[in-house]
Structure 1
Amino acid sequence: MSLDFLLVSLAIFLLCTLLVSLCTLNRNKRVTNFVAHAIGHKQFSTFTIVATIAGVHCTGPLLQYSIVDVGSKGVFYIAYRIGITLFPLLFLSWLAGRMHNFMDNLSMPETMATAYGSCGRLITALFEVANAVIIISLQIHVIYNTVSRLIPSASPLVVTILITIIMVVYAMFGGARAIALTDVWQCTVFTTLLIVLTWLVFKQTGKPIIEMIDFLQDQKQFELHNLMPSDGKVKSILRYLSFIFSAISPYLVHNVYIASSPTQARKSFLYAGIFCTAIVASMLVVGLLIFVRFPNIPSKDIWDYFLAHASPHLKGMVCLIILTCAMSTVDSRLHVVGIMLAYDIPKSIPFLKRFVYPHQLLVARLALFVVTVFTLVLSFNSLSILRKILAWYGRLYVPILMAPFILVVLNFRTTFPVALIGMVTGLLSVFAWHKWIFPILGTDSSQVPCMLMTGLAMIGVHYLGNTQKKIRPPKKNIASI
């Protein structure tokens, strides 16, 4: 199998992806209005929604992270990676079963607007647009690096632009239905290849399973007490709690709205949690097998060392696994961003609404194109700055927006000023944690404590305000003398 054949395999995969997406452009299912573009016809099977969730939840660099970090960080990294994959989806499964009143919504910002008005909607949309631009840029850079590293006979820039064009074409003209079907195809490809990759790496180790287990048991980082170190129990508890909420975002919540009922949405997230956990577990197994095979290679060099000693077959599988994961993440993010730029943000700003709403579908498609071009340019510039911004986004998003969203789903209704007080409280809590708590505990896992501060502030201010209204004496009419 030559490297030129890898290029041919990539071309066949991209052609199949394009053909799958074109199947959604037939006359009966053609996108003719914005609602059909945003959520399809709400006739997706549970399997299709599960594949869509898995495609967007399993990002491009996940395989590389699993290979690089599992050997050096051991059992805690295994718990971290599985936890951050499983628990957000289980929590969303629980929330989805309680979203009967929001099934006609098109986005998470619209759900926020039911309680907090246009300002709450605008804040949520702006948060996700900023986050999506960074994530898409980083994923496009992953595509570029993967092609550059594994298919040197091709021009990585040309291939990256070609892949981006294919994604933006079916996202623009096929909408939710095209993205769902291409995610099914991409999910099938990377799942199949991952199973084969795991088996081939296992065969190449040349060691029986019992011997591998004995070897791992002798490594200090794989001792079970590392799950909850005695000198850092509080830090570990905070990290485990952060698993539940840290990966929840509008791009995942959007899968609730494409479901036909809360029951289907609940089942989809539950099954996706199990499926994604199996995928991540397979990647971790690959990482463990490579660590057993090359135990003396430093973690920072293990990825390059593995690829240098991998056969062309393995390189081809690794390449397609990374590309399919990255593509399924990018197209879903682009779709959600298009909805927010054409629907949520204009509806929050009356001046924009007047011009945008008569041409929503056109605006959504133009927004997709503009965001794609912008992220394509951004993906080759200032990556270190983007990663720093993304780290701060992870600290701020959960405290500021997750508590208000959870309260909305649980039928808590209040005014935007009350919500704003809670959001500011959460924001100040994050900065206070970073300044005073971080030096003591040595962890930035402040999401849950700061989110609780947001929720408590909202509930406290809401009920305090209502109490004051009840005890306020009525005004007396003073008769004129």
Structure 2
Amino acid sequence: MVMAFLLLTLGIGICFTRISTSFREYVLGDQELHTAPLTGTLLALIYGGGRLMVAVEQIHNFGLSWVFFILLTSFLPYWMISWLALRMTPFMRNLSMSESIGRVYGKYPRMIMSLSNICFSIATIAIQINVMSRSISMCIGSVHPSIVTTFVILILFVYARIGGIRIITFTDVAQTFVFFLIIPFLAFSIFEATGKPEICSFLATQENFQLDKLFECESKQLAIFTLFLASLVSSINPPIIQKIYMSADCFQAGMVFFFTSLLSLFVTFFIILLGLYTFVAAPNLSVTEVWGYIMAHISPICKGFVIMSLVAMAMSTADTYLNSCSVMFSNDIVNSVMETKSVPYDRQLRLAKATAFLIGIITTVLIFYCSDLFFLLKLRFDCFIPIATAPFILAVLGFRRGSHTALIGMATGVLTILAWNKWIEPATDMNGAFIAMIANGIAMMVAHYLGPKRKK
């Protein structure tokens, strides 16, 4: 069943293949896609396999706090981006978020932004590969997980390399459709398999699900709050902002993100139900035992559907981040170093595909050293938010200053997150990515208003 789905995904990608005639078309398609496929590919990007796995597991760990966390982060970030999208008219001809940064702040911030995104993307792709490996190992005992995972990665590389973002968009739509069908079915299946537990009455007796716990300043609650703040702004990243550049205009981009926020609420509702059903049925499970319990209480056919869903989500996220890395290296880093815009299309395309291959190797190596999804989630925040988020938001809002201003802000963000991770996070378990982003923004404002003024 899983192999058939993977082959179907590859077939869909090949059917929608169209030879790109320019690097712009390879990166953004023809910018004539309707709102529905753009919304579908954005949903597929947002709901990677790691998001489902981590959400269900951490409900066991954090309780009601995590329920509110995933509920609020399912729609608030995309409402915020839909508002930002309406202000991005000056950037609609750019190919990437880094190019927009370079247009405002110069080539060095553009290169730093690209390197930061590559690190962010490697951590994200590592999460997705881990999800594929774990889901396969939980459900298929007769086949070694590494074999099927390798097969999945090969398919991902094939259709990501053939025709760029256009193939990724249409395969993402198919994967989103599968996910939308399977997640409600999985929640209903675990509800039936665990004997239709009385959720409300049981949760009322659990300490982690008391409403007053949300407002206590305990270390666990503060850790959730800092992750919530980081998650709100982590969606302002290159692969997601790329969907704005793929739109015909700012208005369509705003509508895409608005519809995504509504549909995201629907998906999150069933993810929460799945986590709550599992907790009520087996409240004493450790985080690592949650998915093993779920798989043990559903039918073999349902297990196959679960694998399809997790693999579809993981692939749809990984391929887009892989494409984003390729574009940023070939378009932003190389162009900035060469200080030219006349790089031939065929050379850019070959460089992008070679970059994708190299990123795949680096990511594969990373997953051998770290398989903790929660740690990788925080790592991806730390690699990007402290460096790139504040300069981009300020640029969209009209803060147009020199390169030195952005460099001071980026350096401040890096120093802040390094200091936080060394001295504060080990003692409090609070993530410092959002705090470092604020420090970045404040440093940029101070550097501009208190620094020496240029003579006109």
Question: What's the counterpart of residue 197 of structure 1?
Answer: 186
Q: 1:410-450: CA deviations, max 9, x gaps?
A: 1211111121112222223334444665578x253333333
Does the 8 Å CA contact 1:18/1:166 hold for their aligned counterparts? yes
Q: How many residues were matched structurally?
A: 455
Instruction: Answer yes or no: is 1:345 the counterpart of 2:333.
Output: yes
Q: Aligned partners of 2:285, 2:423: CA distance in 1, in Å? A: 38
Q: Compute the RMSD of aligned alpha carbons.
A: 2.6
Letter of the structure 1 residue corresponding to residue 408 of structure 2: I
Q: Aligned partners of 2:307, 2:196: CA distance in 1, in Å? A: 26
Instruction: Answer yes or no: is 1:215 the counterpart of 2:189.
Output: no
Q: Aligned partners of 2:189, 2:374: CA distance in 1, in Å? A: 34
- SS of 1:381's partner is helix
Does the 8 Å CA contact 1:44/1:259 hold for their aligned counterparts? yes
Structure 1: 5+ residue stretches without partners:
1-8, 471-481
Letter of the structure 2 residue corresponding to residue 311 of structure 1: S
- SS of 1:306's partner is helix
How many percent identity over aligned positions? 33
Displacement after TM superposition at 1:372 (Å):
2.6
Q: Aligned partners of 2:373, 2:55: CA distance in 1, in Å? A: 22
Instruction: Answer yes or no: is 1:424 the counterpart of 2:411.
Output: yes
Equivalent of residue 35 in structure 2, options 34, 39, 46: 46
Displacement after TM superposition at 1:54 (Å):
1.2
Equivalent of residue 464 in structure 1, options 435, 450, 453: 450
Displacement after TM superposition at 1:138 (Å):
3.2
Does the 8 Å CA contact 1:172/1:365 hold for their aligned counterparts? yes
- SS of 1:248's partner is coil
Equivalent of residue 406 in structure 1, options 368, 373, 393: 393
Question: What's the counterpart of residue 71 of structure 2?
Answer: 82
Q: 1:244-265: CA deviations, max 9, x gaps?
A: 2134321111111111111111
Does the 8 Å CA contact 1:171/1:331 hold for their aligned counterparts? yes
- SS of 1:322's partner is helix
Question: What's the counterpart of residue 142 of structure 2?
Answer: 153
- SS of 2:261's partner is helix
Q: Bigger shift: 197-206 or 102-111?
A: 197-206
Does the 8 Å CA contact 1:115/1:414 hold for their aligned counterparts? yes
Question: What's the counterpart of residue 276 of structure 2?
Answer: 288
Does the 8 Å CA contact 1:93/1:265 hold for their aligned counterparts? yes
1:438 to 1:157, Cα distance in 2 relative to 1, 3 A: closer
Does the 8 Å CA contact 1:141/1:379 hold for their aligned counterparts? no
1:74-473 residue pairs with structure 2 within 5 A?
Answer: 74-207=63-196, 211-231=198-218, 238-350=226-338, 359-376=347-364, 378=365, 380-383=367-370, 391-434=378-421, 438=425, 442-465=428-451, 469=455
- SS of 1:349's partner is helix
Letter of the structure 1 residue corresponding to residue 410 of structure 2: M
1:128 to 1:463, Cα distance in 2 relative to 1, 3 A: same
Q: Bigger shift: 94-103 or 454-463?
A: 454-463
1:348 to 1:293, Cα distance in 2 relative to 1, 3 A: same
Displacement after TM superposition at 1:48 (Å):
1.1
Question: What's the counterpart of residue 16 of structure 1?
Answer: 8
Q: Aligned partners of 1:110, 1:318: CA distance in 2, in Å? A: 39
Does the 8 Å CA contact 1:356/1:363 hold for their aligned counterparts? no
1:389 to 1:81, Cα distance in 2 relative to 1, 3 A: closer
Q: Aligned partners of 2:239, 2:278: CA distance in 1, in Å? A: 33
Displacement after TM superposition at 1:219 (Å):
1.3
Displacement after TM superposition at 1:339 (Å):
0.7
Q: Aligned partners of 1:225, 1:389: CA distance in 2, in Å? A: 30
Displacement after TM superposition at 1:46 (Å):
1.2
Does the 8 Å CA contact 1:87/1:243 hold for their aligned counterparts? no
Does the 8 Å CA contact 1:434/1:444 hold for their aligned counterparts? no
Displacement after TM superposition at 1:101 (Å):
0.6
Q: Aligned partners of 2:16, 2:359: CA distance in 1, in Å? A: 23
Q: Bigger shift: 244-253 or 330-339?
A: 244-253
Displacement after TM superposition at 1:189 (Å):
0.3
Letter of the structure 1 residue corresponding to residue 13 of structure 2: S
Displacement after TM superposition at 1:78 (Å):
0.7
1:238 to 1:12, Cα distance in 2 relative to 1, 3 A: closer
Displacement after TM superposition at 1:40 (Å):
0.1
Letter of the structure 2 residue corresponding to residue 448 of structure 1: F
Q: Bigger shift: 230-239 or 190-199?
A: 230-239
Letter of the structure 2 residue corresponding to residue 38 of structure 1: V
Displacement after TM superposition at 1:182 (Å):
0.4
1:345 to 1:68, Cα distance in 2 relative to 1, 3 A: same
- SS of 1:420's partner is helix
Q: Aligned partners of 2:284, 2:19: CA distance in 1, in Å? A: 56
1:297 to 1:367, Cα distance in 2 relative to 1, 3 A: closer
- SS of 1:310's partner is coil
1:464 to 1:296, Cα distance in 2 relative to 1, 3 A: closer
Q: Aligned partners of 1:281, 1:316: CA distance in 2, in Å? A: 22
Letter of the structure 2 residue corresponding to residue 307 of structure 1: M
Displacement after TM superposition at 1:452 (Å):
2.4
1:303 to 1:90, Cα distance in 2 relative to 1, 3 A: same
Q: 1:13-52: CA deviations, max 9, x gaps?
A: 1121112111212xxx432321111000001111111111
Q: Aligned partners of 1:194, 1:381: CA distance in 2, in Å? A: 29
Q: Aligned partners of 1:386, 1:256: CA distance in 2, in Å? A: 28
Q: Aligned partners of 1:301, 1:141: CA distance in 2, in Å? A: 16
Q: Aligned partners of 1:350, 1:287: CA distance in 2, in Å? A: 51
Does the 8 Å CA contact 2:117/2:384 hold for their aligned counterparts? no
Displacement after TM superposition at 1:308 (Å):
2.5
Look at both structures and tell me which one has the larger radius of gyration over its CA atoms.
1
